[in-house]
Amino acid sequence: MQIKGTKSGLLLHMHERPLTPVVSKLRERLGALPNFYRGGRAVLMLGDQPLEAADLAGITAILQEFGIIADGAVCDADDVAAAARAAGLRIVAASVAAAPRVRDDRTEPADVRKARHEGGDEAAREAFRQRRNGATEHGSGAENCFYKGTLRSGQSLSAFGNILVLGDVNAGAELIATKDIVVWGTLRGVAHAGAEGDDTAAVYALRLEPTQLRISRCIASAPSSARAAGVPEVARVVEGKITIQPALGARDKVRAR
């Protein structure tokens, strides 16, 4: 089983049979971060192999338990589609599920954006499929997120990979990444790097003023002491606690509680 994040929601690749072990893996994966996906939507990629209705019902029940809406299914065989419909899922095309509502130049990958410009939506979908297949072949589920502009209160970005923001992140905005977070501006919102337990993840910003800072399982509040303007900063986990340092390697400036 593979879980991939997109701007539109989650893609759950469930081509294995039987699905019973997949149900257990899904519960384990979601249980590790019970609030990470809450409020999201998911499309099930079910392939062409026969499946048991009970297993499919188990998957949708687990998603519901963790606050995720099963938004549809991609099926490569009629009998699989019939089982999905019986479970209350709408059938969607693979191109709709995989390449999708990412139409904003600030977040669409450069190769997909170029393909769209040169060949239209169908070329963009094919470029996205190639990205997806390449990640699968190399065993990587990472989906890095690039955003240009100010992230305002109430907005959020999440990624199975790194997040790069060219702009400020205002108070009330939220960033969640399984790897690093880089803000080329002032970070005043909530940032959670290493969200799947990666203690080596870091948060970089031209100025760190977060309302809350999380790295892996460690939590810290914004430092209250005055700091030199114009000095890029990095937050890392050191000896089990979050430290904020000048990004150029000067001594620690604050050790969070």
Q: Is the pTM of this model over 0.85?
A: no
Start and end residues for every CATH 3.30.70.260 domain found in the chain: 2-98
| For residue 69, pLDDT beyond 70 | yes
User: How confident is residue 172, by pLDDT bands cut at 50, 70 and 90?
Assistant: confident
Tens digits of per-residue pLDDT, 125-153?
A: 566 556 544 443 433 344 688 888 999 88
Output the pLDDT for position 168: 94
Per the model's pLDDT, the better-predicted residue between 221 and 160 turns out to be: 160
Beta strands in 17-75 (DSSP E): 41-47, 69-75
Sheet holding 241-246, edge to edge: 145-148, 163-166, 181-187, 203-208, 233-238, 241-246, 254-255
Sheet holding 156-159, edge to edge: 156-159, 174-177, 190-193, 212-215, 218-220
Tens digits of per-residue pLDDT, 223-250?
A: 555 555 568 999 999 988 999 888 875 4
Start and end residues for every CATH 2.160.20.70 domain found in the chain: 145-255
* CA torsion through residues 28, 29, 30, 34, sign: positive
Q: Find, among 144, 197, 159, the residue nearest to 29 by Cα.
A: 197
Q: Which CATH architecture best describes the domain 145-255?
A: 3 Solenoid (2.160)
How crowded is the C-beta side of 107, counted as CA atoms within 13 Å?
Answer: 19
Output the pLDDT for position 76: 85
Sheet holding 9-13, edge to edge: 2-6, 9-13, 41-47, 69-75
Which tokens is 153 given?
Answer: 């209160």
Q: Which CATH architecture best describes the domain 2-98?
A: 2-Layer Sandwich (3.30)
Output the pLDDT for position 252: 40
Per the model's pLDDT, the better-predicted residue between 221 and 214 turns out to be: 214
